[in-house]
Amino acid sequence: MTYLVKPVGHVESSLRSLDDAPRQGDEGAPTAWLVLDAAVAPALEAIGVGDELVVLTWLHEAQRDQLRVHPRGDLSRPVVGVFATRAPSRPNPIGLHTVRVLAIDGSRVQVADLEAIDGTPLVDIKPALGPLDSR
Amino acid sequence: MTYLVKPVGHVESSLRSLDDAPRQGDEGAPTAWLVLDAAVAPALEAIGVGDELVVLTWLHEAQRDQLRVHPRGDLSRPVVGVFATRAPSRPNPIGLHTVRVLAIDGSRVQVADLEAIDGTPLVDIKPALGPLDSR
């Protein structure tokens, strides 16, 4: 059994290639836009400036047959299973990014500290659930 | 452009139906097993008891055409966009579950507080990245 991911939009960013991208959003990632397809714009309703979101992306340049990696690509560190790392190359290369909303313009959402590169497909957006969140 | 999710295993749980399942893992969810396919077992290497993981699942009983919902299914609350909620029904129904590892037995990982029902496909496993994590 397999399942089909239909992207709901894409990332618009100044990061053009994986070589430019930091490994995590809090390691110097830029402000970027989540550009939602017009058809799914109603799904954004009630999201506001200042909200903390978890953005799921499809890391479309990742390899899917890699099961063990050097953590953070550091060859001096011993190889471990990809599920013990945040390496983009993994069987189902879904990226998880915690970001804060800076602005909303129709079906475009500006967020801080997103390490995904320009053109990365958007899979899902969820509210972060932290101790500060009211459910 | 669409992408194919190939599950890496499934959840084994005493939760048999959505009616039994709590809405979040910390709302009374049981201990459960992540049963990985033997082929991907090497991807678990270096995961240990006590680790905090983020488990991604495919919520296979969810509807995908729902863009606005009552939060937590509560009809007394105004309808909002699904991206402002953790509702399972959404365009790409991927579940996010933060769990702690209780035991590991080959390609089976026992975890606390998982609200996914028995048979839910596993998409990915990542280490949680919190202030307590060493990267």
Confidence class for position A27, pLDDT limits 50, 70, 90: confident
For residue A121, the distance in angstroms to the closest alpha carbon of chain B comes to: 9
A-B contacts at Cβ under 8 angstroms: 142
Take residue A43 and report the two structure tokens written for it.
């799904």
Give me the long-range contacts of B72-76 (CB less than 8 A, separation at least 24).
B72/A135, B72/B23
- What is the pLDDT of chain A when averaged over all its residues? 92
Confirm if A61 and B103 have CB atoms less than 8 A apart: no
Task: Say if residue B73's pLDDT is above 90.
Answer: no
Q: Could you report the per-residue pLDDT of A81-112, keeping only the tens digit for each?
A: 999 999 999 999 999 999 999 999 999 999 99
Largest CA distance in chain A: 48
Question: Among A109, A100, A84, A96, which Cα is nearest to A9's?
Answer: A109
Residue numbers in A near B83 (CB within 8 A):
43-44, 47, 53, 124-126
Pick among B3, B104, B133 to test the A interface (most A CBs inside 10 A): B3
Torsion angles phi and psi, residue B50, rounded to 5: 95, -15
Q: Where are the domains of chain A?
A: 9-62+92-128
Residue numbers in B near A123 (CB within 8 A):
92, 94
Q: Does the predicted interface ipTM exceed a cut of 0.85?
A: yes
Confirm if B68 and B77 have CB atoms less than 8 A apart: no
Give the SS3 label for residue A108: strand
Of the partner residues A42, A85, A92, the one whose CB lies closest to the CB of residue B68: A42
CB contact under 8 A, A4 and B3: yes
- B128 touching A, CB under 8 A? no
CB contact under 8 A, A42 and B5: no
Kindly state the percentage of chain B with pLDDT values over 70.
96
CATH superfamily ID and name for A9-62+92-128: YaeB-like (2.40.30.70)
Task: Say if residue A23's pLDDT is above 80.
Answer: no
Read off the pTM: 0.92
Q: Where are the beta strands (DSSP E) in chain B?
A: 3-5, 9-12, 32-36, 52-58, 68-69, 80-81, 94-105, 108-111, 121-127
